[in-house]
Amino acid sequence: MYGLSGDWSIISSPSPKPYPHKPPKCSNCAPLFMKITHMEMIKGIQGHGYYDELVIPIIENTAYENDITDSLAKAIEVYPKTTAVLVRHHGIYVWGDSWISAKTQAECYHYLFDAAAIKLHHLGLDWSTPDHGPIQNVKGFSSINSVIKRVATKVGTVDSNFKLQPYPRCIVLDIEGTTTPISFVTDVLFPYARDNVGRHLSATYDSAETQDDIKLLRSQVEDDLKQGVLGAVPIPSEDAGKEKVIASLVANVEAMIKADRKITALKQLQGHIWRTGFENNELEGVVFDDVPEALEKWHALGIKVYIYSSGSRLAQRLIFGNTNYGDLRKYLSGFFDTAVGYKRETRSYVEITESLGVDKPSDMLFVTDVYQEATAAKAAGLEVVISIRPGNGPLPENHGFKTINSFLEI
């Protein structure tokens, strides 16, 4: 159990269990709990008579508990005496004497309704009618076709033999060459970070964030020097002065960018530099034209979509929060970066599947433009398709993966 103070800082933490258990993590609900005051979880609405008014707020469900904080806080502010909520999840309204019970029930009902529709179809029963009678023939065509198609709008697609092909439970997307042109990364983001690294470090040198970035870079450069990595130069101690430290950092970062290294130290600093660029409207994220429509469709179907990129999670949120199609983060359920592992390592995809709690790895679809990433994900049991986009590199002959030119093909 975590002990929290009134300002949400952690006072005490639980002891971690030995490997292979994951380290403890404070609940996503924590900021939400801090918003709740003067409320009790009750089993009924007591003290209300015929002429009384009871106002119950409706709260849209979200992927993570802490994302619901603002809407609940607003509801409590407007209706301070409320003792219950309605949580809306894909058109399903669930009453709860607490937000967490309503949220959980809504998600369960949504899953069960979809499962029931498929089961009824398998039994030859029309799930779309009140009495669930047998599927009838209409005008010479079996209505089984339309039934399957109606079910498919929620749970899958239909092949030429009217066989239901279920949608993946989760979709994990690469960015560069998959959602976004490679040219945007190589010709816009990388040059911006390279040209502004010195200015950024000088302006923010004394901040805790930048000092953390420098500490991470020092550790990486020390390893690079031991391994003889080309372009690595020693970073002097703080005693040498701010300017000399920054000059050496700039030299190392430029070499890392030139080599297109997928390392956390570089990606974390780049994310902080890009944040300034987006805040100053000097940068705008770019996605392919089919991406917003596909994300909206998957979101409506209840498919959770995640991003896995070598860029930092901050950089990912910046790109999708400031695109040429507006803020697309509402369609995304989470972000993964190299902190979970490198993208060409099978263990990284095993870690993602375990983090998301899917029943089996094949419930997850990974979309990338890189053959080595596709191979690593497939080895972890994921379904994989390779994205063919303008400017992407060639694939090996007989690579064995399904390819797409647009997300609308998924």
Q: Which helix (H) or strand (E) holds 82?
A: none
In whole numbers, what is the pLDDT of the chain averaged over residues? 81
Nearest to 265 by CA among 201, 221, 315, 204: 221
- 40 included as an active-site residue: yes
Q: What is the pLDDT of residues 247-297, one digit of tens each?
A: 999 999 999 998 988 888 998 999 999 999 999 999 999 999 999 999 999
Phi and psi at residue 289, to the nearest 5°: -60, -30
What mean pLDDT comes out for the span 294-301?
A: 92
Of the listed ranges 116-130, 156-170, 298-312, 392-406, the least confidently predicted one is 156-170
pLDDT band at 58 (very low <50, low <70, confident <90, very high): confident
Q: What is the pLDDT of residues 353-396, one digit of tens each?
A: 998 888 899 999 999 999 999 999 999 999 999 999 999 999 99
CA distance 353 to 50: 51
What pLDDT does residue 57 have?
A: 74
Peptide bond preceding 31 in cis form (omega within 30 of 0): no
Answer positive or negative: Cα dihedral of 402, 407, 408, 410.
positive
CA distance 113 to 107: 10
CA distance 172 to 306: 5
Residue 70 · residue 96 · CB < 8 Å: no
Higher pLDDT, 48 or 396: 396
Residue 222 · residue 232 · CB < 8 Å: no
What pLDDT does residue 260 have?
A: 85
Please give the structure tokens belonging to residue 187: 């010709």
Which domains, from first to last, does the chain contain?
33-123 (3.40.225.10), 170-179+286-409 (3.40.50.1000), 182-280 (1.10.720.60)
What pLDDT does residue 75 have?
A: 73
Active-site residue, from 40, 53, 77, 397:
40
CA distances from 264 to 221, 309, 348 (A): 12, 11, 14
Q: What is the pLDDT of residues 112-150, one digit of tens each?
A: 776 776 677 667 676 666 665 665 544 433 444 454 455
pLDDT at 22 over 70: yes
Place of tokens 């797409």: 404
What pLDDT does residue 37 have?
A: 52
What pLDDT does residue 87 have?
A: 72
DSSP assignment of 113-158: HHHHHHHHHHTTB-TTSTT--BPPEETTEETHHHHHHHHHHHHEEE
What mean pLDDT comes out for the span 33-62?
A: 58
What pLDDT does residue 130 have?
A: 60
pLDDT band at 89 (very low <50, low <70, confident <90, very high): low
CA distance 264 to 338: 6
Query: Which stretch, 75-79, 160-164, 301-305, 381-385, has highest mean pLDDT?
Result: 381-385
Higher pLDDT, 69 or 38: 69
